[in-house]
Chains A and B, each alone.
Chain A
Amino acid sequence: MHYFCVVFKSQAMKTQFLFPHGMKRIGWILLIPSAILGFFVIFFNFQASFLDCRVFAAYSGATGWLSENKAGMIENNITDEIAAILFIIGALLVAFSKEKQEDEFITKTRLESLVWAVYLNYAILALCVLLFYNMGFLTVMIINMFTILIFFIIRFYYILYKSKKSLSHEK
């Protein structure tokens, strides 16, 4: 019995680049409102007027590449910046916080889901490259920044849910 505990602990201590389990809840609290906010920003151009402010821009040229230096303070509405940053933090916490109990099966499921999400994300992006043009493609790119995490979260939790469900008729 003692032997098993020692082995399990040494395994659990390996670096996994994951957040503590408790951060998952914080992740959801950030993810859900920022996703809703982001939805309205992208599809309805929502901007909260009290979020108009001066921000530092490393570059804010309207066209093309870094042909002219545009670094400096600019006027900007930061609704979309807030939504994006909160979504990224929230989604990362939800995606990469430890499960209540970690083991090699969960680790394998996580890695598989990540590969799966990358493939799906780029398959959809490749399709959109061929189907969307001009500003439509810009919207696709904006959404595509976030879908990789969304696909990962959906797939990872679906597999965990399915493997939990298959327990009920196994004794």
Chain B
Amino acid sequence: MKNNLKVQRAIKNITQEELARQIGVTRQAINSIELNKYVPSTILALKLSAYFGKAVNEIFSLEETD
């Protein structure tokens, strides 16, 4: 699964640290998602979606291998 979390953060001009705090997860979680090392749960994806005001599939998208 791909994501453009980093782009979304840049648009909102918010650091990983601040985003993590707002969503209530560790900074490692945000960082691992951005590095495509961790696929977030539906709950976390929905929280991020609500935070950025974008649909989940505007932030996360499937890859060929999924």
A complexed with B: yes
Question: Closest CB of chain B to A167's CB: distance in Å?
Answer: 5
Residue contact A105 to B47, C-beta cutoff 8 Å: no
Question: Tally of A-B residue pairs with Cβ under 8 A?
Answer: 56
CB < 8 Å neighbour of A170 from B34, B40, B43: B34
Question: Closest CB of chain A to B40's CB: distance in Å?
Answer: 7
SS of A interface (majority): helix
Chain A hits for B51, CB < 8 A? 4
Give A3 to B44 CA distance when docked, in angstroms.
13
Interface size class of B (residues with CB under 8 A): 20 to 34
CB < 8 Å neighbour of B44 from A104, A164, A166: A104
Give A170 to B16 CA distance when docked, in angstroms.
8
B36 lies within 8 A of chain A by Cβ: no
Question: Closest CB of chain A to B43's CB: distance in Å?
Answer: 7
A1 lies within 8 A of chain B by Cβ: yes
Q: Given A4-B24, A103-B26: A108 and B38 within 8 A (CB)?
A: yes
Stretch touching chain B among A5-13, A49-57, A132-140: A5-13
Q: Interface of A with B (CB < 8 Å)?
A: 1, 3-5, 7-8, 11, 99, 101, 103-106, 108, 160, 163-164, 166-167, 170-171
List 7 extra interface pairs beyond A8-B23, A105-B38, A170-B34, CB under 8 A. A11-B24, A99-B26, A104-B25, A105-B25, A166-B35, A167-B28, A170-B16
